[in-house]
Amino acid sequence: MNKLSRREKILIYVLACFLIGMFGLYFIVKPSLENYLAVSAQVEEAQFTQQSMAMAIDNIPATMQSRDAANSKLAELKTPFSAELPNEGVDKLLTQLCLSYSLAPRSLAIQSNEPQNVETFTEYHSENGASAAVGGTNTTTTENTNNVDTTGGTRTRTSVVKMELTGNQANFYRLLDAVSNRPDMIISAFDITSETLPQSGTTTSGSTTTNVAYSGYVPKLDGTNNVVINVTFTVYMVEK
């Protein structure tokens, strides 16, 4: 067996050192580096979360102040409106309103009294872009539209009521002015007609006086006589 020369021994030694280095790099250094990068990413994420939580905690007083201001504003906006009323409540509200202006209700019919949700709008992003070929090149565009979200929001109630009233025409005009200044109701339609009343009189023949009555007398619409008014109220109520 031939002995290895000094040059061959050096080459074997260098090869062994290289193999040991590669083994340590692949099985020790590389996994350690990967673990270090993963731990560094977790540390950065934890620091970001901590900073976000600290900012949120610092903003709690301002957020609570904004919430209280918004609740106060909402309560102020709701103040002029009636709370949600059933049919009996709407009947009582409008009857008392008309009587306060010396108008006598003859009939009242509630056409509708249903709760409604206030619609809110959220931005809609199309998941699939629309593609079009222009001059041999495919162009992809993303469409953004406003989508109506009806799952939440404040609930309101709208009641439509038709009434037949009798009274002085001038009193009805006073009622019109009062309702026009109220945010919780409107008069959407009305019709004024003369009220047919009997007319009484006397006839004298010789020494005999006879009281007679004539039906079908129609007074003029001059604002001083009683009239028949068909009016439609729309009442707006909110959830309180």
State the DSSP H helix or E strand holding residue 70, giving kind and residue range, or none if neither. helix 30-78
CB atoms within 10 A of CB 10: 11
**C-beta of residue 212 within 8 angstroms of C-beta of residue 198:** no
Residues 6+ apart with CB under 8 A from 138: 131, 132
CB atoms within 10 A of CB 99: 13
Pairing of strands 197-205, 208-217: antiparallel
Residue type, position 159, single letter: S
Which tens digit of pLDDT belongs to each residue from 197-232? 555 544 444 444 444 444 444 445 445 568 999 999
**C-beta of residue 209 within 8 angstroms of C-beta of residue 203:** yes
Residue type, position 49, single letter: T
Q: Retrieve residue 179's tokens.
A: 């309702």
Residue type, position 205, single letter: S
Which tens digit of pLDDT belongs to each residue from 26-43? 888 888 888 889 999 999
- pLDDT of 69 over the 50 cut: yes
Binned at pLDDT 50, 70 and 90, residue 75 comes out as: confident
- pLDDT of 89 over the 90 cut: yes
What are residue 217's DSSP bridge partners?
A: 197
